[in-house]
Chains A and B, each alone.
Chain A
Amino acid sequence: MSEENAVAANDENVATPETDEPKRIPQPDKITNKDLMKSWFGWWWTNEIPHTFDRMLAPAFCFGLIPTLQKLYKDKDELAKAFQRHLLFFNTQATWGGGTLTGVTISLEEARAKALANGEEPISEDMINNTKVGLMGPLAGIGDSIDSGTVQYIFIAIFLPFAQQGNFLGALLPFLCFAIATFTYGFYFTKMGYSLGRSAAKEIMTGGRMAGIIDGLGVLGLYMMGILAGQYIKIQSYLKFTISHKTFDIQQILNTILPGALPLVAVLALYWYFQKQGLKITRGLVYLTLALVILSSFYIL
């Protein structure tokens, strides 16, 4: 009996520092309330600073996650992969969408990091991406109308009489109230998202329905991308020409054949390019910009 114990203990000793598997991924650190605050603050602070056309607010989201991801992924390759997956297109509203998704994403990343370290089947990258993409649109819709559409104007309306009388508090108070209110409930959403995400992550890991859930989130994600594409991409033709006193307006003709054809052509052309050439985002960006600049300088677009 004592020998058995000794062997088991010995085995463990050998396994942890070296040998066995060629590469062992170290255990992640525990995520604390302070880490959630750090990530929430990082996202809140940088929210609109690195706004770009191709990724929208993704760099800010990634910025917020950096300290948490560093605690989760002690392995350089996994850390790099995590950074890269959070730099992809992401657009949502700061508190309702961003707060909640910061929490949810951290919990999913935590579950993935733990599983990787224990050599179990981890939550896939697809799962994390699809969750974010599926939820960002609806949460943005809620957040925009509440934060910038309602909360902001309530504070402005309350304090505007001060401004009309020439008092600087009429400017300072709406700003401070809005800043404090949104920061506070945004952090609440982060914590809520984290605990919701943790229970969801547990369910995913134990339920054995992973493939179905990933597919379901993929459907939701692609569906929301379709909606965003329809609402966001503004490409139309300004080309008009006259043949024997009859004016042809290309956009009007397109509208009668297939409304929304041009934005769809742009997306599908890029999709096709990425399929053929691999995910060369910068090149796609340059080609698309060149095409848009050239076509619009001649008022074709």
Chain B
Amino acid sequence: MHVTLTIWQALLIALWVALVESRILGFSTLTMRFSPLMTGMMVGFIMGDIKQAMIVTAAIQLVYMGFVAPGGALPAEPCIATAIAVPVALLGHMSPQGAIAIAVPVGLLGSYLYQFRFFLNTFALKPMDKYAAEGNARGLKFSIVAIPTMISFVLFIPLMFIALYFGAPVISGVVANIEHGTLIHVLNSVGGGLAALGIAVIMQVIGKKQLLPFFFLAYFMSVAFAKLQINMTIYAIFGAIFAILYVMFTSKASDKQ
């Protein structure tokens, strides 16, 4: 099976994916990222067969129904999966089920790319600290919006273009090779570990050493109860109760003095 698109079609689809994955279109790009529907529609529009594209996309949607991203981390990237699977299905006259077989591994690879974007942002957004310290609102706005958008475009457009232009069979091969490789392992580890940084910063900012036991209390509660999958709201209620008790007891003590 030989699959190609024209250069312009591949480029337009790549541009669409970059727009969605950069999140430049606002919070509602959430549905564009979590759900394949809008991407399927755009691909159909670009390739001139909206009807068949929508039928294939609806089948892919059923696979990704009920996907939720706690804290923004999706286990797969339906938008990227669709951008590859739908053109392949249209050109190869494949069944919707065949398209799903391509979409799933590509979606997995896509989720690493989305994580990689956070990683690049972490370093590239440094100028914003300088602008903030200067009270420079224009510089701050620029670094918060323009830099990460450029990063996404540089990351997603070439990769999607290559993937689309040179075809899906290659992609499935790449996914299979990279999935268990050291590179992905390192990226996963760095991604999983870097959250420690922000948390340590907040602990420093809250600042009161005598309150640190509450951090440890919560940490070990969450480790010990991990299997119970306790909802964040319940934890927050615990936290609020501890906070109220703390204030109650400490203010009582100072009243007696």
A interface residues with partner B (beta carbon < 8 Å): 44-56, 59-60, 62-63, 66, 70, 76-77, 79-80, 83-84, 87-89, 91, 94-95, 126, 129-130, 133-134, 137-138, 140-142, 144-145, 147-149, 152-153, 155-157, 160, 162-168, 170-172, 174-175, 178-179, 182-183, 186, 209, 212-213, 215-235, 259-260, 263-264, 266-268, 270-271, 274-275, 279, 281-282, 284-285, 288-289, 292-293, 295-297, 299, 301
Contact = CB atoms under 8 A, between A and B. Distances in A.
A234 B192 contact: yes
**Top 9 A-B pairs, shortest CB-CB distance:** A226-B218, A141-B232, A230-B222, A234-B192, A138-B236, A89-B198, A179-B28, A166-B51, A296-B189
B206 A221 contact: yes
Contacts of B231: 141
A129 B208 CA distance: 13
Contact of A182 (B23, B28, B148, B223): B28
B57 A70 contact: no
A168 to B, nearest CB: 5
B106 interface: no
B236 A54 contact: no
Given A83-B132, A225-B218, A297-B186, A235 B72 contact: no
B221 interface: yes
A259 B216 CA distance: 13
A59 B145 CA distance: 9
A54 B201 contact: yes
B37 A170 contact: yes
Given A51-B117, A83-B132, A223-B242, A166 B206 contact: no
B144 A219 contact: no
A137 B233 CA distance: 8
Contacts of A171: 37-38, 40-41, 54, 57
Contact of A50 (B55, B65, B125): B125
B193 A60 contact: no
A249 B51 CA distance: 54
Interface in B44-89: 44-45, 50-52, 54-55, 57-58, 61, 65-66, 68-72
Interface stretch (B156-164, B168-176, B243-251): B243-251
A153 B218 contact: no
Contacts of B218: 222-227, 229-230
A23 B26 CA distance: 41
A221 to B, nearest CB: 5
14 contacts: A54-B122, A66-B140, A89-B202, A138-B235, A166-B55, A172-B41, A174-B31, A175-B32, A175-B38, A222-B214, A225-B206, A229-B196, A264-B219, A268-B200
B214 A223 contact: yes
Contacts of A260: 219-220, 223
A47 B27 contact: yes
B121 A50 contact: yes
B37 A62 contact: no
B1 interface: no
B34 interface: yes
A83 B205 CA distance: 15
A249 to B, nearest CB: 17
B232 A140 contact: yes
Contacts of A222: 203, 206, 211-212, 214-215, 218
